[in-house]
């Protein structure tokens, strides 16, 4: 039987605003160095299957310091959305424990393949809300979209999802007339999987929050745009599907004002320790200062100011990164950097190593 009480995903802008907790700074998005076992055709963080490498990635101690600064600014949640698969990072448990003990929530994004029963249990016990990317129930298409050739991986992901559902199902709470869930599916809609969205949503049922998103033309998605059948007609249909099916009516990050709360109430950090507009793209990496020369609160204030000027000129948009004027925003930040004579940290693109035949736990 379908539960009539509306679902809400814990830690999101919609959830925080329901309880009056989305006032000013709320989100710190930390990108860990790229490490992933997939090569998704859509991936923001890859470019022609290459990823950005840092010679001196930010240390775990520095990450702990940022977590403390975020807490001191009354932050509510730390988002670990990349770069790559955060669950593969060697310090992931230490970082999650630190966030939890500081009194904030964690939201972790995962492709689902790296989630063992033990890790899911750890996340559940340490205040983590978990977002699993899932774009197709068709094994062949799943493998194609994720750049995999290991057929077992699809079955393993389904098994892991079942396990996550079992553990997280016990954590659902009622709050302000909503069922607050801590497990979500994030599907990115393209011309090849658009027909499947209804089925994926039905699968999510009462206990998994379902979001579907438009593809952003960034990273790997640029070169794969035509293959993902994203011509104009498809794009309009996709927008309609998202409006109808996504439980937030769009991306997970939308607040009750229809704007991205991660962006308007937060700031991202690149693996090199540079502040960024959004964790989903490295386009502003190095353009807002870094953790070695600016505090979190200084950079957040600077970023807010720059974004406000942009919105005053071009109008508000739900997602700055997906806005057709995003390039103009980046160019404005670059001009500021040049005017102030600040040298920009440059990342170097490196070839993804071919991954060993990894054994996935049962």
Ligand X SMILES: C[S@@+](CC[C@H](N)C(=O)[O-])C[C@H]1O[C@@H](n2cnc3c(N)ncnc32)[C@H](O)[C@@H]1O
In the complex, which residues of this chain contact ligand X (CB under 6 A)? 36, 42-45, 81-82, 84-85, 109-111, 133, 186, 188, 213, 215-216, 218, 221, 280
Q: Which is nearer to ligand X, 81 or 259 (CB)?
A: 81
**Please, which of residues 76-115 interact with ligand SF4 by CB under 6 A?**
82, 84-85, 111
SS3 state of residue 329:
helix
Least separation in angstroms between CB 216 and ligand X? 4
Least separation in angstroms between CB 143 and ligand X? 15
Residues 6+ apart with CB under 8 A from 341: none
DSSP 75-118: --EEEE--SB-GGGSTTHHHHHHHHHHTT-EEEEEE-STT--HH
CA dist 258 and 256 (Å) reads 5
Contacting ligand SF4 (CB under 6 A), which of 22, 28, 32, 43? 43
Least separation in angstroms between CB 111 and ligand X? 4
Which sign, positive or negative, has the C-alpha torsion 94, 60, 106, 162?
Answer: negative
Nearest C-alpha neighbor of 240 from the set 186, 198, 192: 198
Least separation in angstroms between CB 122 and ligand SF4? 20
Residue with tokens 């995903």: 9
CA dist 129 and 86 (Å) reads 13
Q: Which is nearer to ligand SF4, 113 or 127 (CB)?
A: 113
Q: Give the count of residues interacting with ligand SF4 (CB under 6 A).
A: 11
Under the binding rule (CB under 6 A), the answer on residue 264 touching ligand SF4 is no
Least separation in angstroms between CB 156 and ligand X? 15
Least separation in angstroms between CB 86 and ligand SF4? 9
Q: Which is nearer to ligand SF4, 46 or 212 (CB)?
A: 46
Residue with tokens 């932050």: 75
- Among ligand SF4, ligand X, none, what does residue 110 contact (CB within 5–8 Å per kind)? ligand X
Instruction: Give the interface with ligand SF4 as residue ranges (CB under 6 A).
Output: 36, 38-40, 43, 45-46, 82, 84-85, 111
């Amino acid at each position: 039987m379908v539960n009539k009480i509306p679902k809400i995903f814990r830690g999101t802008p919609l959830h925080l605003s329901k309880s009056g907790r989305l006032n000013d700074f709320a989100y710190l998005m930390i990108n860990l160095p790229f490490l992933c076992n997939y090569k998704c055709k859509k991936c923001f963080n890859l470019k022609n299957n290459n990823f950005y490498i840092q010679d001196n990635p930010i240390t775990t101690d520095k990450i702990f310091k940022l977590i403390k600064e975020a807490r001191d600014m009354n932050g509510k949640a730390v988002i670990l959305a990349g770069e790559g698969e955060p669950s593969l990072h060697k310090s992931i448990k230490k970082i999650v424990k630190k966030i939890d003990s500081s009194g904030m929530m964690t939201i972790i994004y995962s492709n689902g393949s790296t989630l063992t029963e033990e890790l899911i249990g750890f996340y559940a016990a340490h205040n983590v809300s978990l977002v699993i990317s899932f774009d197709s129930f068709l094994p062949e298409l799943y493998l194609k979209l994720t750049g995999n050739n290991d057929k077992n991986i699809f079955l393993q992901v389904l098994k892991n999802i079942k396990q996550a559902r079992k553990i997280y199902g016990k954590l659902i709470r009622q709050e302000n007339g909503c069922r607050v869930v801590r497990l979500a599916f994030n599907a990115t809609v393209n011309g090849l999987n658009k027909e499947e969205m209804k089925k994926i949503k039905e699968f999510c049922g009462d206990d998994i929050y379902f979001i579907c998103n438009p593809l952003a033309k960034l990273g790997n998605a640029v070169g794969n745009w035509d293959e993902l059948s994203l011509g104009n007609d498809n794009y309009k249909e996709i927008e309609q599907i998202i409006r109808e099916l996504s439980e937030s009516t769009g991306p997970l990050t939308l607040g009750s004002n229809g704007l991205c709360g991660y962006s308007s109430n937060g700031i991202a950090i690149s693996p090199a320790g540079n502040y960024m507009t959004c964790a989903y793209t490295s386009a502003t990496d190095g353009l807002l200062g870094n953790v070695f020369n600016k505090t979190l609160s200084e950079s957040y204030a600077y970023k807010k100011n720059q974004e406000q000027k942009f919105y005053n000129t071009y109008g508000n948009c739900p997602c700055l990164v997906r806005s057709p004027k995003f390039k103009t925003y980046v160019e404005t930040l670059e001009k500021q950097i040049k005017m102030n004579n600040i040298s920009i940290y440059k990342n170097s693109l490196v070839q993804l190593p071919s991954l060993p035949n990894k054994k996935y736990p049962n």
